[in-house]
Amino acid sequence: MFRFCKTSICYTHPMLQDSSHSLLLDPVQLATILNQLEASQRPASRLYARVRLGSFVTLTAKDYSETLELQLVEPGDSNPALNKVSFLSPVGAAILGKRRGAEVVVKTSIGDFEWIITCVRQHRGDF
């Protein structure tokens, strides 16, 4: 069987797609993401290598079966085919404000996915 993507996580996967419509309808989720966004932009967050807008992040599946590399961007700059994922996507909302080594659960319409943040960079580097 031919597979366009190298892993089971293609750029069309629901966890990479913008989900702002559902976030905006849930006041608790909206407040949480806004608090994470504010905290990630503080100068102290740079000292602890937290995921923030513009960060390049490497995620490894909790079972170590695959790796996902992405850049966290604003919704208007999102392009999952180029590894640019909105902070309003399920994976973006889950990793925003987190540090390297954190375990995150990405909840989507097709199930929950467990990932470990294995690298956080603020510059492209060897992406």
| Domain ranges across the chain | 14-121
Residue 107 pLDDT: 85
Q: Is the pTM of this model over 0.75?
A: no
The CATH number of 14-121 is which of 3.10.50.30, 3.40.50.2300, 3.40.50.1820, 3.40.50.300? 3.10.50.30
- Which of these ranges, 32-36, 99-103, 120-124, has the smallest mean pLDDT? 32-36
Q: Give the residue ranges of DSSP H helices in the chain.
A: 20-25, 27-40, 43-47, 90-95
**With bands split at pLDDT 50, 70 and 90, how would you rate the model's confidence at 38?**
confident
Q: Measured between alpha carbons, how far is 32 from 55 in angstroms, rounded to an integer?
A: 19
Does the structure show a pLDDT above 80 at 10? no
Residue-by-residue DSSP string for 51-80:
--TT-EEEEEETTSS-EEEEEEE-GGG-BG
Average pLDDT of the residues of the chain: 78
- Which of these ranges, 32-36, 52-56, 85-89, 99-103, has the smallest mean pLDDT? 32-36
Secondary structure (3-state) at 106: strand
Residue 126 pLDDT: 47
